[in-house]
Structure 1
């Protein structure tokens, strides 16, 4: 009888120890599940990359031009009515929504495919406009139109503008994408 009581006491103690150990294990697992840092795996997709570089018009090159343009006579376009001296800024770039990406999951690399860089803005500094001769009767709207046309022509002939804009665009895209790509173990290729 004493042996049975001791066995019962031992069984109750053992049962309590098992229940306590189980409770501790459950609490530890619950704490680990709820408070463990969550590890998010980044998935690189073209749409994710486009979202990162989603700036509508991205101007990456600037060309400052001081020009002189001849304004023809209205009645006789072969003759110069007056000339205009002006300062302008021409911006080259792309529409960022036209950037595409080639993703190589095997080699963990991303190659941006950029569209052709184009002139996207011509700004004429109104305060810099002066006519030759000074007493010319210039129509501002027509004058600005001729100035813009001249600045655009000069910018299109300047190979450095497009080259610089392309290099700056590559640097901008690299800077925008590197944090995301690095986190996912990818590299950018040009």
Structure 2
């Protein structure tokens, strides 16, 4: 009985010493991590922020478009030879080289002005082309090529006037820029506000 009672206090002492060592190591590590952060703070400048956003094109909107294009007779542009149903993927975004950044040091404010959203890529899925011919004579060797060109022209025209795709892409671009620059600004010793237009 006496041997078991002596072992318990020794176990508690070892446990307390072990916890003390872990606590000291944790405090030491936290102190050095904090010191390391202070040394690597980036100075806010227009050039620094531009480099962070230097990715040429930023695609921020993607939509799948289902359309029907019409292929006309080359000799009579009012006569429809056939119709083609298709699926296309449309990507919209901004040219990051045209982003304007304004820094107001006294007000501790960064303003980012995004350029106009552009349609960056249109991809018609050839596997989805489905034809409806007006006559059997319209079934020529160039059907696929002509149908593809008609689908590209149709979706390009439709997207040019579609403000929803552009609005979605603009909102997504704002969120991306806020996420990227917001993280950088949060690491500064002095707090900056960020406005993205």
TM-superposed CA distance for 1:180, in Å, is: 1.1
Using structure 2 for the length normalisation, give the TM-score.
0.72
Structure 1 residues 138-157: aligned runs within 5 Å: 138-157=142-161
Using structure 1 for the length normalisation, give the TM-score.
0.75
Distance in 1 (CA, whole Å) between partners of 2:68 and 2:173 is: 30
In structure 2, stretches of 5+ residues that fail to align are: 1-34
Q: Does 1:45 align with 2:45?
A: yes
TM-superposed CA distance for 1:143, in Å, is: 2.1
In structure 1, stretches of 5+ residues that fail to align are: 1-35
1:34-77 CA distances to partner (integer Å, 9 max, x unpaired)? Answer: xx756345321222111111222111111211110110012111
| Pairwise CA RMSD | 1.8
Contact in 1 for aligned 2:81/2:133 (Cα 8 Å): no
Partner of 1:176: 180
Distance in 2 (CA, whole Å) between partners of 1:110 and 1:141 is: 50
Partner of 2:192: 186
Distance in 1 (CA, whole Å) between partners of 2:178 and 2:40 is: 23
Structure 1 residues 62-141: aligned runs within 5 Å: 62-133=62-133, 136-137=139-140, 138-141=142-145
Q: Which has the larger radius of gyration?
A: 1
User: What secondary structure sits across from 1:66 in the alignment?
Assistant: strand
